Amino acid sequence: MSMLVSNPFRFVLAGVLCWLLLLTGCRPEPEVTFDVQGLEVTPGFAVKDRLKTNEQWVAIVHVNLFQTAMPANELYNAARVFESIGDQSIAREVLLSNFFNQPDLDLMTRDEMLDDVEGFIDETYLRFYTRFPTQAERTYVREFILNNPGMTPELVYMSFALSDEYRYY
Amino acid sequence: MKKITTRRDFIKKTGLAAAGVSFAPYILPTGRLFAPTGNRSSEHVVMVAFAGGVRQQESVLKRYLDDSQGEPYPGNIMYNMFSGAPPENKIVYGTGTGGMNPIPAILSESLESQGTVFKEVTALSAGHYGGLNSLVQGSTTTTQGLKQRPINPTIFEYLRRHGGYSATDVWFVGNGIGNSTPLLNHSAHPDYGSDYAGNFFAPTVTFSEIGAQFMADAKIYHPENELAPMYKLQTFLDLQFQALTSAGGSLGNTIAEKENIKAFMEAMYAKVAAGTLDLPPVTDNGDLYTMAFAVEVLKWFKPAFMMVNLSAVDSCHADFSNYLAALHRADHAVGHLWNQIQTDIPEMAGQTTLLCTPECGRNLTPNNILDQNDWLAFDHSDANALRVWTLMAGPSVPAGLSIGSEANPIGLVSDTMMTVADLLGVKPEVQSAGMTATGTMSLLDQL
């Protein structure tokens, strides 16, 4: 029989080493901060170069507005209706205005939007573009909302949903 | 007190503004001053792609069962379009049990007697897809695949780019969304494309129950207080995006045109729901519904050019009796179209030219499929499938003229497209573009 296996000292040594490894390996990760403000990373518009299909666009806009997925058969039918209309921008606009006419769509009021307009703008960019606005965009949209009394959250959403950037991913 | 602007007012105002602008010369996207070099000889042109593969024998030759089933019963089942007596026996193409009641003629005089028939025209393709492409492009390209945009420019694009026609001035009304139909309103050609496309509806889908589910309950926004700022914000968003990529993608409808199209859609859903659509006297297949909506498009937009595609006769692959019924109904649809133009659309009456051409013919010999009357069906792949005809009627078309014969074919299917270009004043530009099939020429030059 081998001397290595039968030597009891070696078993003790191996056990001690295991304990040492466990003790050092299970130490919690130290929280290191560098006094830099946290930033959520979202994709910028520069990388959006793939056009959504009609089905993708309808599916995503439905989720963005109603927070629920459209049933697959309805999605198929909606895409067929889109194909039957030459000017797709008209099809998108009419579909959206149908969505906005549905009673189960819960949108905030203009007053609620104005209570935290910057927060609304950030939330809208994230909802539709999955990114934060640039400072220039935030400023323009904020001033636009404030200076146009007719701009409701519904119309802001419509502008975003009809925009070119929303057609790409 | 502030005056309330309705959508109609908005459309009217923007339309007037657009009309004002159109009187002034302007630079086309080609970079040259708008001045089509051809002479426009018709205010309106309607082209019917008729109607899914039609045999000469049952259509222009008026042979009914005589040249198909070996039964000696000739006759004309397209008496709105062609002159001649209908069959006297074995009537299966009408309405009622077994189709024994022929649909009465709509027109008191056939279109053949009112216009000119090219009786033996050569198709460029024995298939629907190639045939339709030859009607919209004036050519067929062998490298072009199904479910693909036309490679060469379509008549819609020629008209818009070289003739200065607006997007709502050129329409394609399709029979459905199958195969490549929704793709035929513009090509993928880099010098033309979607900016010059024709507007398109496949009304049997758009205005169907499914279409209504998604489109009929559209919210009406105030054009100035709501839509204008909404579009303005959208423009800002688009400008930000286009700074980095090129998006694009619409047909070049102006805002006023878009509002007009939306108003049309709203009106159509309302008419369908109320049962007040202007239907042909008999409307019992898809082609007749398609034609009903095509007439509604004419009434609403009064376009310079509309192409409408019928296709129900393609049932001939498996059901000859149904083919006869569909052919009879396609004739009924054209009769309704012409009658409505002359009697119910004063802006187009007496100023419209009609062109009807099958995109392809059908075989001389049948396949082995028998229908309920034990009649054999026909596909389209042999030389007989390249035999078609063209019927023309309108103010500048000679009446009662017949050109060509089986022994002396005159004309190509692609000539129909060139004739549209000729009638609407862009023939020189289409010719100089050099993308039509060899030998393609205006039918007006062959009279």
Does residue A137 belong to any structural domain of this protein?
yes
**According to the model, what pLDDT value does residue A25 have?**
62
**According to the model, what pLDDT value does residue B3 have?**
47
Q: What is the mean pLDDT of residues B328-356?
A: 98
Residues B61 and B76: their CA atoms lie apart, in Å, by 8
Does residue A13 belong to any structural domain of this protein?
no
Distance of CA B321 to the CA centre of its chain: 25
For residue B241, give the nearest of A45, A74, A78 by CB distance: A45
Query: In this complex, is the C-beta atom of B201 within 8 Å of any C-beta atom belonging to chain A?
Result: yes
Q: How many domains does chain A divide into?
A: 1
Residues of B with CB below 8 A from A85's CB?
200-201, 206
Does residue B1 belong to any structural domain of this protein?
no
Among B residues 365-424, those touching chain A with beta carbons less than 8 Å apart: none
Q: What is the mean pLDDT of residues B114-136?
A: 94
Predicted confidence (pLDDT) at residue B25 exceeds the cutoff of 70 = no
Q: CB of B405 within 8 A of CB of B119?
A: yes
Q: CB of B443 within 8 A of CB of B168?
A: no
Does residue B2 belong to any structural domain of this protein?
no
Predicted confidence (pLDDT) at residue B34 exceeds the cutoff of 70 = no
What is the percentage of chain B residues whose pLDDT exceeds 70? Answer: 89
Q: What is the mean pLDDT of residues B73-87?
A: 97
pTM (2 decimals)?
Answer: 0.86
Segments forming the whole domain that contains residue A121: 45-167
CA distances to B43, B46, B84, B392 from B396, in Å: 11, 14, 24, 10
What is the overall mean pLDDT for chain B? 91
pLDDT class for B112, splitting at 50, 70, 90? very high
pLDDT class for B138, splitting at 50, 70, 90? very high
For residue B261, give the nearest of A87, A100, A148 by CB distance: A87
**According to the model, what pLDDT value does residue A50 have?**
85
pLDDT class for B145, splitting at 50, 70, 90? confident
For residue B211, give the nearest of A51, A81, A88 by CB distance: A81
**According to the model, what pLDDT value does residue B51 have?**
86
The residues facing B101 across adjacent strands are B95
Does residue B404 belong to any structural domain of this protein?
yes
Q: CB of B435 within 8 A of CB of B190?
A: no
Q: What is the mean pLDDT of residues B233-240?
A: 91
**According to the model, what pLDDT value does residue B24 have?**
40
Tokens of A122: 């950030």
Q: What is the mean pLDDT of residues B37-52?
A: 93
Segments forming the whole domain that contains residue B155: 7-446
Assign residue B425 the CATH number of its domain.
3.40.720.10
What digits encode the pLDDT tens for the residues B365-386?
Answer: 999 999 999 999 999 999 999 9
pLDDT class for B17, splitting at 50, 70, 90? very low
What digits encode the pLDDT tens for the residues A28-53?
Answer: 676 766 666 665 666 655 578 888 99
Weakest-pLDDT range from B112-121, B133-142, B196-205? B133-142
Predicted confidence (pLDDT) at residue B11 exceeds the cutoff of 60 = no
pLDDT class for B148, splitting at 50, 70, 90? confident
Q: Which long-range contacts (CB under 8 A, 24 or more apart) does B348-351 make?
A: B348/B43, B348/B44, B348/B298, B348/B302, B350/B395, B351/B42, B351/B43, B351/B44, B351/B395
Q: Cβ–Cβ of B253/A90 closer than 8 Å?
A: yes
Q: Cβ–Cβ of A150/B226 closer than 8 Å?
A: yes
**Closest by Cα among B11, B221, B210 to A100:** B221
Residues of B with CB below 8 A from A90's CB?
253, 258, 261-262, 265
Q: CB of B130 within 8 A of CB of B122?
A: no
Give a three-class secondary structure readout of B70-137: CCCCCECCCCCCCCCCCCCCCCCCCECHHHCECCCCCCCCCHHHHCEEEEEEECCCCCHHHHHHHHHH
Can you point out the beta strands (E) in B161-243? 170-173, 199-201
Predicted confidence (pLDDT) at residue B8 exceeds the cutoff of 60 = no
Does residue A16 belong to any structural domain of this protein?
no
CA distances to B99, B173, B260, B278, B332 from B292, in Å: 22, 11, 19, 6, 11
Q: What is the mean pLDDT of residues B2-14?
A: 53
Does residue B284 belong to any structural domain of this protein?
yes
Considering just the CA atoms, what is the radius of gyration of chain A in Å? 28
Predicted confidence (pLDDT) at residue B4 exceeds the cutoff of 70 = no
Which of B285-310 are b and which e, b meaning 16 or more Cβ less than 10 Å from the residue's Cβ? bbbbbbbbbbbbbbbbbbbbbbbbbb
Distance of CA B128 to the CA centre of its chain: 14
Q: What is the mean pLDDT of residues B237-264?
A: 80
Q: Cβ–Cβ of A90/B262 closer than 8 Å?
A: yes
**According to the model, what pLDDT value does residue A44 have?**
59
Predicted confidence (pLDDT) at residue B222 exceeds the cutoff of 80 = yes
Q: How many domains does chain B divide into?
A: 1
Predicted confidence (pLDDT) at residue B123 exceeds the cutoff of 60 = yes
Distance from CA of B372 to the nearest CA of A (A): 33
Low-confidence stretches of chain A (pLDDT < 70) are: 1-8, 21-28, 30, 32-46
Does residue A151 belong to any structural domain of this protein?
yes
ipTM of the complex: 0.88
